[in-house]
Amino acid sequence: MVKVEKQLSIFLENRPGLLAKVCGTLADAGINILALSIHDTVDHAIVRLLADRPVKALLILEQLGLYILETDVVVLELDNRPGALGEVARKLARADINIEYAYCSATASQGLGCLILKSDDQDRAIELLREV
């Protein structure tokens, strides 16, 4: 399954407690975080997340005074086996599509994993990945 989802990129100061505040605020509003990635810099962190209700999540987090960007990302369920991620990367590379960033997750007992990616050509990436 391939689909486009709204990802929220939240810019936070890189200090204890801020992620807990974001997660707690979303939980209090009944919003489930489906995926999360954190990239740290010297003084800030970029928290990228997918929520089950992204519009509501965006509005609630903006009320906290946070700087947030909304981006379309490709979400792909793929087999949880050696080589599956490499196949995706090779397919996009052969089409000259650059993966700007990606994150994924699965546990050893899951049959499927989930890959979230942002590319320089989302429409073509979706078209190609529907064939995976």
Q: 73-129 maps to which CATH number?
A: 3.30.70.260
Q: In what order do the strands lie in the sheet with 112-119?
A: 33-40, 44-51, 2-13, 67-79, 112-119, 99-105
Q: Which of 6, 2, 113 is nearest to 50 (CA)?
A: 6
**CATH no., domain 2-72:** 3.30.2130.10
Residues 6+ apart with CB under 8 A from 77: 1, 2, 112, 113, 114, 115
Per-residue pLDDT of the chain (132 residues; tens, 9 = 90+): 899 999 999 999 988 999 999 999 999 999 999 999 999 888 899 999 999 999 999 999 999 999 999 999 999 999 999 999 999 999 999 999 999 999 998 888 888 999 999 999 999 999 999 876
Domain boundaries, the chain: 2-72, 73-129
